[in-house]
Structure 1
Amino acid sequence: VRGAKLKLAIVSLPCMRPTSPPLGPAVLLSYLKRSSPDIDVRAFDLNLLYYDRILDDLSKESFKIRLYNWDEKTTAQKIGQAVDFLKHGTLEKFDLKLYHHYITIFLSFESIFNAFMSEMATRHLIGLSVPDRVKIFFEDLVNTVLDYGPDLVGLSVLFNSQTVFALLMASLIKEKKEIKIVLGGAKLGVMRYPERLFKEPWVFSTKDKTRQLEFGQYVDFLIPGEGEKALLDLCMVQDKKDLAEVPNLIYMKDQEVKTNPPHVIYDLEQIPEPDFSDFRLDGYIGPEVVLPFLSSRGCPWGRCTFCTHHHSYLLYRELEIKECLKQIRHLKEHYGVRFLNFYDEMIPPDRFRDLAQAIINEGIDISYAAYAKPIREFDADLLKLIHRSGGRVIMWGVESASQRVLNLMRKGTRIKEAEKVLQDAGHAGLMNLIFIMFGFPTETEAEFNETLNFLNKNKDCIHALSKGKFVLSEGSLIQKKPEKFAITEIRGAAESKVYNRVFDYQVSKGLGPKDVSALYEKNIKHLESIGFTPRFGAYREHLLAYAALRDTGSETENSDLGLI
């Protein structure tokens, strides 16, 4: 029998980079606390706990791992030194060469350990044996949540890497207690057909075994897209028939999948600032605590032909600048943090001007990073204003240096203007992280090289590079209208999963996927040399800390990073 209050646990899962607290659970926490006195809600960052636990086990030598040509003891010491450096070693002086050395060790550790644990989670899930210490590791994570005694558990999934852990955690919870489980998060938001998760078997494979799992045995509800109102209403449900009234909910009823219509919060002021009180902020791995923040929802452009993010939010809405500042001031004062990462899909130039000016007028001392589109309205004066307001890193969607390719992407950018924006931003004291996508359908080798030349020519104002190859995803305009992009054949890729539909394709002109991979691999070493260190593309919170320190002169640049 349930007590007077329903107990809800909102859980962030392994495995993703442990560099800052998760935004989704923090927003849900604050919304639910404010909306209903009848819900007792707590957030758990099992991803951070997962890292804490393994790092502790390594230091005690109760878990062994080997990197490079080191033995287990040396490996444990090196990983410990790396974490210590990443948290404390750059506070007075940010030595890039040392940073690159230690972050490379940490990245190697993450890659090997997460691949191993993902394999173990899969084995455990499909009924194969796993070492006892691994079983205990997983059960300890789940027990952290179960000890709270929840009636409902919400699992938040942002990345594909978390899905196997989501199902494993759900199965371990269900083994021990009859608790309802709801799955949500950005991963579901970008899916074209999230209801498919209930309809199709989930296939998990290891070297020894392949097994089909029925999703409905582990998860009771899905909430794709915005979760505030849906989760609140789900907590209030007293009777099964009330489920039909919960917006944005997908669930099984009488062997059928039911999908309820969505609900949009038009006025973002209804959602208070994120609540990070359940997160151990000093536990995250980086030089500074960087809090994520969202000042708008949806994308004001929403036309890029490769994108699937438009499924996440039904329309674009902005939080009033005045309310933004109130929330930012609260976060700064309440948590003693002065670093923010704006997670908005992008901040348009007019709004950026108003926001930057308001931060200056209010005298709020913060350093922040944000996403933007490199268009000419970001002129030298605006970029200087952004820097004066505490802007330190701008993450620009450049994608390609071929104007023809940009037009086909429907980016709404001109490469000459983008180049000037990057140069002006650099002169204004901002650091530029740029996104590049190689191999967009119809791209030729000459156009691929055009982008390489652009990177070389502008390397002085490209401080970090986030690069990748084009992936044909379900729900993008390209997948819906392949003939417009010279795509002649589409078939499910070998790595395609029910929760991550990706496709192999053939083109009638330009580079095919194999050609792109070959060119990409051929140029990878050179691409890694663009920017201060190739690691900043992945560890963006660290780039923000570096940019802020560089502004005060407490850093050293070294173009010859050298590897381990």
Structure 2
Amino acid sequence: MTSTEAFPITLAFPPQGHFTQPYLALPCLKAWLHQGGHRDVELRDLSVEAYDHFLSADYLDYARHRAAACLETERHETHGTPELNFENMRAWRAAVETEVSAQALIDTIDQAKEVLRGPDCFDPEKYIPAVRALYHGLRVVSAAHHPSELTPHNFTMRYANDRSKEILAATLDAQENPFIKFFSEEVLPGLIERQPRVLGLSVIYGSQLIPALTLGRMVKEALPNCHVTAGGGFLAYIGHKLTQAPGMHVCLDSIIFHEGEAPLLALCNVLKAATEGETVDLSEIGGLTWFDRREELQVRNNGPAHPVKLDEAPVPDFRGLPFELYFSPETVIPYDINRGCYYGECTFCTLPTVIGPGYRTRNASTIAKHVAELRDHYDSTHFNFITDCMPPGMIRDLPEALIESNAGITWWSDARVEPKAYDEQGAQRLYASGCRKLLFGYETATPRLLKLMKKGQSLKATAQVAENCNKAGISVTWYAMVGFPSETREEARATLAFIQENAPAVREVSLQTFHIDEVAEVYHQPDQFGIKILSDEEADLQLYHDYEASSGMTQQEAAEMFEEMMTGLRESLPLFKGDNIFYFMQKSHYFLQLARGLRPDEFVELCAQRKQKLQARDAHPSLTPTTGLGLRDLPFSYTSVIQTLGHPLARAARPDFLTGRFVTDAEEEARAQLGGVPRGQSVLAYDPLNHEFLEISPDARKLIEALGQAGSLEALLDTLSPDAPDTGRTYEKIVSFARDLHRGGLLTVNCTTLPEARTNPRPLTQHA
């Protein structure tokens, strides 16, 4: 074993990733390094650290003032232009939302975080407002760095992440890149004090690329003797292009491809054996591409690394991760039961290639042993089994091993439709082992397309597997796509219809538009799928490509169909209706409800009860304006702006959620086809209790202000003269108006506003 004294290593997960549970890559790497003799390994989840930092009262106050200074709301409102132009809509929306909501968010953000991290998270009446507060807090953060946008699911800038020049520019743009300040003040001082010899960055998503390279650049400037390496799923796609891009050597020293355990250990051993600051030969390390700085700067591509024997890999080591910062009431521990895909035939899928090399699995007994260790060490009984799909044998063996070992856990994972394995008995065995949620690749209801995709499954089997799991108490999610080459609108609607037919068994649907990347079979065999690949010469890091199809929908038509299908899903699936969809959007939150013992139907009823309470709100005599209510007069319709920016053309003008790239000419096309929003007086209100934006009329604002002056609805109604004409009609109008504003959260019941003798006030009746 190599001696590793005084060789500190820091492994970091850069922003932006989900903030509800830890990621698995770094704990796997740490365990492997420990096994190899490196004991001083620090883990940093900089993504959740950044979210916690940004979503604080101090930062939101800073962001509010920064946004006011840079967005110049009045410039869009006072020049007398007849309409709000498309190119100004996002800035105007960011400005008015920040102005009306920031103070309420500053006052309540800590409470919202407490809700999501504690038992109140299980109460929909408290959960939904808390989640909204986080979303809206991030809109304030984004406004301060406009046009950059940070959400719970993405980070984008005006710089495209498939162009190296733009990426490098983004790493230096302190105005629009919020992570420069965050890294400088919250991360870099600790790294300088620690003096790590190796900094490893795990880049799984495209949204992490700019933050990761920003940090790499800053560390290389501050710590020239620290070797900065990076790996992860996204770099497995574009890593070779990235190292060939001019200037990337200022951000990185090397990239590890595919499985990282063995290459990272070998890299650390070589660097440890060298004198600090010495440029060394790394050519013997498999799976590594590196910048050779010994003489003239050159990029060296080593051969592939040998895969690790997964069943012999140590249990992941999560020690050091900030469990207290994740926005979940209980920890869900990720654990990889296999790597790669045993099926590996789908023509659209690239995961078997980038996760490689090859398919390997752990034995069921090893999994059960590791699960018990993780359960006991981290005091959590909730697991997310990381897998592309479990092979039929594992579907049988793993539940039996968990049951026999009295694991006492609950878990969820991805899965593949295997009708023999997921029969009624198999589904019941899975539930008995703790399985509460499974996600299956359904994709489409068109057999012709399933054949093109090489899915190897039938619609009958897909529906039957879902039904068997549902009967056993397991919640089923289907993955579906729209826009696969040659798909027609009618076929896409059939996909939606089939979901709706199976809605009692299918609780959630993860729907995405089809994208072509350079690894998939669709890209390499375009003639077979009737498409022409379109490349962008300026996109030197291009992974995803536009295309022209000889039949079926265009990409734009597929984007429009996506919106139509999502509308249908919201109408058909209880978990997608209204703000229930937040449970789907926050990773593991719905699962944790099931893990508490609720069946899917029971959870749906819990959500329905919240809705019923909101709709039951009436015009209570003590209604007064909600404390902390934000109101702002608008010269343009907020709702119209939201609708315009939600149009598929407008969405294409921003970096895509999946790819992070701009669609060519989308901004110009959206401007030409969507136009602007004409002037029209309205008011934007922000409910500080439920954290909702509502557009109301100027008359509604007048009523709110009159209620505030009168002290209560009853007191206001008492000012009406019974002898005045149309008093009855005015009375009814005020009561109806107040009822709607109460249901919207802008008015609240406050019995302290009534005389002491009437804390149980009389019901409102028709004025004579």
> Does residue 1:43 correspond to 2:43, yes or no?
yes
- Inter-CA distance 45–231: structure 2 relative to 1 (3 Å threshold): same
Answer whether contact 2:204 2:233 (CA < 8 A) is retained: yes
Q: Which amino acid aligns with 1:23?
A: L
CA distance in 1: counterparts of 2:434 and 2:172, whole angstroms:
52
Asked if the contact 1:490–1:504 (Cα under 8 Å) also holds between the matched residues in 2, the reply is: yes
Aligned equivalent of 1:151, options 182, 194, 197: 197
Give 1:223's aligned residue.
256
Q: TM-score, normalised to structure 2's length?
A: 0.66
Q: Is residue 2:371 matched to residue 1:328? A: yes
1:448 corresponds to 2:454: no
CA shift for structure 1 position 146: 2.9
After TM superposition, the structure 1 stretch with the greater mean CA deviation from structure 2, 482-491 or 533-542, is: 533-542
Task: Evaluate the alpha carbon distance shift between residue 461 and residue 169 of structure 1 in structure 2; reply closer, same or farther with a 3 A threshold.
Answer: same
Does structure 2 conserve the Cα–Cα contact (< 8 Å) formed by 1:157 and 1:163? yes
* Paired residues for 1:19-38 under 5 Å: 19-37=20-38
Matched AA of 2:56: D
**What corresponds to 1:53 in structure 2?**
53
* C-alpha separation in 2, matches of 1:540 and 1:469: 20
What code does the residue aligned with 1:13 have? P
| 1:397–1:99 distance in 2 versus 1, CA, 3 Å | farther
> Partner letter of residue 439 of structure 2?
M
Shift of 1:43: 1.0
CA distance in 2, matches of 1:110, 1:368: 30
Residue in 2 aligned with 1:426? Answer: 470
Structure-to-structure mapping, 1:185-264, within 5 angstroms? 185-189=232-236, 191=237, 194-201=239-246, 214-237=247-270, 238=273, 242-253=281-292, 254-264=296-306
Matched with 2:515 is 471
Change (3 A) 1:257 1:270: same
SS at structure 2 position matched to 1:368? strand
Is the aligned partner of 1:541 residue 2:588?
A: yes
Other structure's SS at 2:384 match? strand
RCO higher in 1 or 2 (8 Å CA, sep ≥ 6)? Answer: 1
Following superposition, the deviation at residue 550 of structure 1 comes to 4.3
Distance 1:517 1:131 in 2: 28
Q: Distance in 2 between matches of 1:283 and 1:300?
A: 35
User: In 2, are the aligned partners of 1:182 and 1:222 still within 8 Å (CA)?
Assistant: yes
Bigger shift: residues 463-472 or 52-61: 52-61
The 3 A distance-change label for structure 1 pair 68 and 440 is: farther
Offset at residue 277 of structure 1 (A): 0.7
Give CA-to-partner distance per residue, 1:382-403, whole Å, 9 cap, x none: 0110001000010111111212
- One-letter amino acid matched to 2:105: T
1:231 is paired with a residue whose SS is helix
Task: Please tell me the root mean square deviation across aligned C-alpha atoms, in Å.
Answer: 2.8
How far did residue 531 of structure 1 move?
A: 4.6
Written as runs of structure 1 = structure 2, the 5 A alignment for 1:81-480 is 81-90=111-120, 94-96=122-124, 98-110=126-138, 113=141, 115-116=148-149, 119=157, 125=170, 127-128=172-173, 130=175, 135-139=180-184, 140-178=186-224, 179-189=226-236, 191=237, 194-201=239-246, 214-237=247-270, 238=273, 242-253=281-292, 254-311=296-353, 312-377=355-420, 378-480=422-524
Q: Find the aligned partners of 1:441 and 1:485 in 2 and give their Cα distance.
A: 6
Instruction: Tell me the alpha carbon deviations over residues 205-260 of structure 1, each in whole angstroms, 9 at most, x when there is no partner.
Output: xxxxxxxxx11121010001011110111011145564111110001334432211
Query: Relative to structure 1, is the Cα distance of residues 23 and 489 closer, same or farther in structure 2, using a 3 angstrom cutoff?
Result: closer
Code of the aligned partner of 1:523: M
The Cα shift of 1:119 comes to 4.2
Q: Structure 1: which 5+ residue stretches go unaligned?
A: 202-213
Give how far 1:473 is off. 1.0
Q: 1:398 to 1:302 in 2, by over 3 A?
A: same
- Pick the aligned partner of 2:561 from 514, 519, 524: 519
2-structure distance, mates of 1:534, 1:54: 24
**Identical aligned residues as a percent:** 24
Gap runs ≥5 in structure 2: 68-93, 143-147, 151-155, 160-166, 615-689, 693-768
For the 8 Å contact 2:22–2:326, the answer to whether it is kept is yes
Shifted more, 382-391 versus 119-128: the winner is 119-128
TM-superposed deviation, 1:133: 9.1
* Aligned residue type for 2:464: K
Shift of 1:497: 6.4
Say if 1:457 and 1:112 are closer, same or farther in 2 by CA, change over 3 A.
farther
Q: Contact conserved, 1:465 with 1:536, CA < 8 A, in 2? A: no
Deviation at 1:404, TM superposition (A): 1.4
Tell me how far apart the structure 1 counterparts of residues 176 and 483 of structure 2 sit (CA, whole Å): 42
Query: Alpha carbons of 1:133 and 1:14: their partners in 2 closer, same or farther (altered >3 Å)?
Result: closer
Contact 2:403 2:432 in 1 (8 A): yes
| Alpha-carbon contact 1:462-1:531 (below 8 Å) kept | no
Paired letter, 1:252: F
Is contact 1:306-1:476 (8 Å) kept?
Answer: yes
Q: In structure 2, how many angstroms separate the alpha carbons of the residues matched to 1:486 and 1:20? A: 41
Rounded to whole Å, the distance in 2 between the matches of 1:461 and 1:322 is 31
Question: Any conservation in 2 of the 1:50–1:141 contact (CA below 8 Å)?
Answer: no
Cα distance, 1:164 vs. partner? 0.5
In structure 2, the partner of 1:210 is none
In structure 2, C-alpha distance between the alignment counterparts of 1:435 and 1:331, rounded to whole Å: 29
Structure with larger Rg? 2
1:523: Cα distance to partner?
3.5
C-alpha distance in structure 2 between counterparts of 1:68 and 1:457, whole Å: 42
Secondary structure in structure 2 of the residue aligned to 1:460:
coil
- More displaced, 530-539 or 177-186? 530-539
Number of residue-to-residue matches in the alignment: 544
Q: Structure 1 residues 342-351 or 116-125, which shifts more? A: 116-125
